[in-house]
Structures are given as structure tokens and as C-alpha cells.
Amino acid sequence: MSFYHTYEQLKDLPFQELFSKITSLDVERVLKKDRLTRDDYMILLSPAAEDYLEEMAQRAHQLTVQHFGKTMQLFLPLYVSDYCVNTCKYCSFSVDNVFPRKRLTMEEVEQEAKAIRDKGIEHIILLSGESRMHSSVEYLKECMTVLKKYFSSVGIEIQPMDQVDYEELVNSGIDGLTVYQEVYNEDIYREIHTKGPKRDYRYRLDTPERGCRAGMRSVNIGALLGLDDWRKESFISGLHAQYLQDTYLETEIGTSFPRIRPNAGGFQPNVDVSDKNLVQAMLALRIFLPRVGITISTRENPAFRDDIIPLGVTKMSAASSTEVGGYTNPDDTQSQFEISDERSVDEIRNLLHSKGYQPVMKDWQII
Amino acid sequence: MNDLLHIGGVSLHNRLFTGTGKFADHKEMKKAIESSQSQVVTVALRRVDINGRDEHILNDIPEHVTLMPNTSGARTAEEAIRIARLAKASGMGNWIKIEVISDHKYLLPDNEETIKATKTLADEGFVVLPYMSPDLMAAKRMEEAGAAAIMPLGSPIGSNRGIKMKEMIRIMIDEINLPIIVDAGIGKPSEAAEAMEMGADAVLVNTAIATAENPAQMAQAFDMAVKAGRMAYLSGLGPTTEKANASSPLTGFLTT
């Protein structure tokens, strides 16, 4: 089984035409429904639904409070290595960008862990560039022996691996996998991933499934918005999340809505994705899949992040550093992308309290 | 009214159990627990900082209540067992509500794994309260395995849909010789009263209190509803019929 079969059925649909045919009556009908079909989801992503964002927001808010409560999970990324073998036009870690690369030693991992732990953070995601040699299973397992002492949940966002590798990582205590398809449009995918193993679209698309089968507790997917028509990309990534939810009942499926940020390669987005567009994509997904996790990163600016908290978001990062060793030695090396929201964990906690949300620092226990 | 519920060596006069999830903050949670008069409060071990590094949820649970840690997040019996042992080792007492959920879409419990975990943990001396999908045979096996009470769901967790599983729960109340605590799905005080009227021994309410605009007041409303429902049950409800009794009975001529 693979989501690729679904993708093949979807890719040649006349999306422009389908979206443009949707009317306000269609939207009103969907907003009265309890359970949404794929077609209903498409209706909520249509230009016609733009006039109903307030109604959608009310619904999305109600569903989120019902299923997740007035809570927000906080986490931080920990970058351990920026060695990468791929050429991706939009990413600063791309092998073509020349800068001194770095991989943390175990002493440095421990220093970073302490610095993050001192902020009160319990959940982290280990990040690296995509290099089998530098962010190998052995290296990550070694990191885990250190990180276990400091955190109650550790996920990874690294190069795609085989199921057996994920199984080994799960046994070492890693419980979450994040892997973005970046762009679901296979042609654009090949255009922007010019060199390296990442060019293999199908292997990447099947990565979340390998993670689910290996026993990851949570698997997080998403499209990098700005690479192709956002309505279509959101639609396909939403169906991908639904497919994973239906196929792997044991796994908590989450999604993110990253938008392209300034980066060392100077890549310009193919498509503009406005705040309004991003909000619509998020609301439509929440109404379509009420239990899916939604993460919003520090790529977005503070004011916008504050405003979208009640619209369906369940996880946020705070005070993130996207450079290797960045918590102990800021401004030392190359960051993966520029962050917009530089507020501290305490500031984010206070903000959440003021908005009537409980910041949740711990929501798992390595057992 | 001397009407006590006995579970695991504890005698309870209040039959509303509450939860600690989904509240906007710990202060609000504490106020709600206090005004609910609840004597048993469930808390997910996954949310407790057992190393005590952070603001501690347990500090905001009134001291007089019995803690019922739950195994939220467990997908198998084995994971539930490990979580239960961790809870006990970290000083949270020996009660455990077993939650084994391997379905993230509806969050329905896995009865088979729950039975296994019940057996192991009851043998280890835990007071085991399994959360389950209403099913008489599964409940009987949990009883045999050493459960202290059975917690069937009224509707899927967090759904606020009321007691959709009413008939199945009624059968369990009649046939199982353990306290039956209706857990999950109760959205309104009237539904809590309904569960109590039909003979449930207690109810557990979390989402409906935590996500109310005024959680403390809603907790009080649930307390009153549970008391009313229980009193009605003990008073012996009159039989109900669908139709009014005919005022001119057809057999009225059969006078003695």
C-alpha cells in the first residue's frame, strides 16, 4: 500500500476548474455537515470559501477545544548537524552552499540539551541536514543516550530512512518522525531537488508510512507552501494525512504549514501564499480532520502566530534556533532558515496564559 | 443519606469522578475540582513531570482526593503496564485507570489489551479500573482478572454526545458485580443524572467541565446532577410507559 496510488489518481484532476466551479451555496452546505468527504474538503479550500473564513474559524476553534482542550504543546528543535548531500533550491543547508559544516559532539549535544532544558522545554525534535554518513542511525542513537536524561519526548527530522532503521531508533526511545514532502507536485519536486537522494519522490512520499510501521508514536507531514498552487498542495497533503490516519490507527498524525522563508540560496517562492491563504488552509484541514495535530513554527511572525492560536493550532515552537549549536553559541554558524518569532519560552508561556491556553510542556513519558 | 461507594479499600460519598486534562490553566482546574466535591481525580502520567522539574500538576490537586493516574498514550497492554509501574514508583498511589487506545481517530479503547493489562496489574496489587468499550463478556473477563471497578464509555471520549451506549451499559450494571463508572462522552449534567438514574455507581466527567466557559460552576452543576440521579435511583423510579394510561380502560367491566 502506498499513498502514491492516491496521488496518481489526484494529480491530473483539473484543479483550477474544480475550484472555480464551487459556489457559496456549496460552502454553506458543507459548514452544516458533521462529517466531511474529500469533496467537502475541496470546497473549504476553494476561492468561494474565502467569504466564510469567520464561520470556518468558529467551527475550527470549537472542534479544537473539544478534542485538544485549551492547551498548547510547546517544543524546540535541536539541530545536531548541517551536513547535507542534497541540492534543494530553497534550503540553506543545500550542498551547493559553501559554509563550514558542523556536527555536534556528544559533549556539545549535552550542552545544547541543558540550554534547552533550562528553558523548561520537555519535548524536542532532533534535526539534521540529510546525510546518511553524518546523521547516521548510530550517531542518533548516541545522541539519544544523552537526550533521554533531559527530555520526555524526542522526535526526529532527518533524511528519510528504511523501516528497520526507524525500528532501531524507536527502540532507542525516539518517538516521533517529521518528514515534509515539500511539494506534492512531482514535476516541481524534480525541478527543485536537483541533486542527491532526495530526488527520489516516491521514497520520500512513503517515508511517513515506514515510520508508522516502525512504531513511531507520532508522524508529522506537510507541504512547504509557496512551491505550487497552495489550494492543490493543501488538498493533497490533507488527503495524505487522512490516508495515514485511516491506515495506521495507532499513530498520531500531525501536519504543519511551513511557508518558505528567506534562505542562503536566495530562492524566490513560485507562488505567494498570503496570511489569509494560510489561515484558510489550516481551517479547512481542522474541519476535515478534527483530530489531526497542527504545528505552527517560528517561521511565522509573532503577531500572526498570536492571532492564529485559537484557530486549530495544537503545537508551537518557541525561542528556536535553526543553527547547529545555536542554543549555546548563537550566531556561530549557518542557520537553515531565518526565524521570524524570536520570543523566549517564558514570553510564549505568558502569551498563552493571557489567551486562556495552558502551555503543555510535557505530554509523553519515555517508558 | 449513608450511601457509600467502596473501591479499593476507600469509601466514597461523592460519585462524581473528575479529570485534569483540557483546562486553560491549573488554577482553573483546581477550582473546578474543589467545586465538584470530587473525591477521585484522574491524571495522565504522560502530563506529570515525575522528576519535578516544572510546575507540577499534582500540586494543584486537593490533598484529600484519591489520585487515579491513567495510562493515556498506551497502545498496548505492555505500555500500559509500564506506565502504571512508573506512576506507582513516582509516588502516585496504587490506583490505576487503564487506558489502552490504539486508534487515534475515534480514541476507542482496545478491550483485549485492556484485559491483559488488568490481569497483570491486579496481580501486582494495583487497584485497577479499566476504561473499556461496553461489552458484557469483556467486562466479565476484567472482573475475573481482578478489576476493582469497570469504566465503560458512554460515547467516544471528548465527544460530549451523551450516553449512546445506554443499553449495553444497562446490561453491564445488571450483570457485573463490580461498581460501574460511566466514563467519557457525558456532555451535560442531565446526561450524568441519566447514567446515575439507571444505576451506574459513579460517572467520570472531564471535557464537559474543562471546556465550559465557567468550569467551576459547571463542576458544581455536575455534582448536583450526579447526586440527584443517585437519589432518584435509590428512591426507586416508577415505571415509565410510552403512552398515557387510557382513562376508559377496555377491561374496566371486569370488576370483582
Measured torsion, CA atoms of residues A167, A168, A173, A178, in degrees rounded to the nearest 10: -60
A-chain residue closest to B26, CA distance: A358
3-state SS, one letter per residue, for B170-194: HHHHHHCCCCEEEECCCCCHHHHHH
Q: Do A361 and B207 touch (CB under 8 A)?
A: no
Q: What is the rounded average pLDDT of the residues A186-211? A: 93
Using a CB-CB distance cutoff of 8 angstroms, which residues of chain B are in contact with residue A356? 24
Say what percent of chain A tops pLDDT 70.
97
For the stretch A233-285, pLDDT in tens is: 999 999 999 999 999 999 999 999 888 876 666 777 888 899 999 999 999 99
- Give me the residues of B, 47-66, that contact A with CB < 8 A: 47-50, 53-54
For the stretch B74-116, pLDDT in tens is: 999 999 999 999 999 888 889 999 999 988 888 899 999 999 9
Q: Does B136 touch chain A (CB under 8 A)?
A: no
Please name every residue paired with A77 in a beta bridge, in sequence order, or none if there are none: A125
B56 neighbors B76 (Cβ within 8 angstroms) = no
B97 is catalytic: yes
Domain ranges across chain B: 5-235
Domain ranges across chain A: 3-360
**C-alpha span between A86 and A319 (Å, rounded):** 28
Q: Which CATH superfamily does the domain covering B5-235 fall into?
A: Aldolase class I (3.20.20.70)
**C-alpha span between B110 and B94 (Å, rounded):** 22
Tell me chain B's radius of gyration from C-alpha atoms: 19
Please name every residue paired with B43 in a beta bridge, in sequence order, or none if there are none: B69
Given B27, B30, B88, B97, which residue is catalytic?
Answer: B97
For the domain spanning A3-360, the CATH number is 3.20.20.70
List the single residue in A70, A249, A363 with the smallest CB-CB distance to B24: A70
Beta pairing class for A358-360 and A315-317: unpaired
Predicted local distance difference test score (pLDDT) of residue A265 = 63
Beta pairing class for B16-19 and B202-205: parallel
Q: Is the pLDDT of residue B242 over 70?
A: no
Using a CB-CB distance cutoff of 8 angstroms, which residues of chain A are in contact with residue B53? 117, 120
Residues of A with CB under 8 A from a CB of B: 65-71, 117, 120, 122, 152, 217, 245-246, 249-253, 291, 353, 356-358, 360-365, 367
Average pLDDT over chain A reads 91
The annotation status of B207 as a binding-site residue, yes or no, is: yes
The annotation status of B185 as a binding-site residue, yes or no, is: yes
Which ipTM was obtained for this model?
A: 0.78
Distance from CA of A248 to the nearest CA of B (A): 8
C-alpha distances (whole Å) from B239 to each of B50, B194, B233 are 51, 15, 12
Q: Does B22 touch chain A (CB under 8 A)?
A: yes
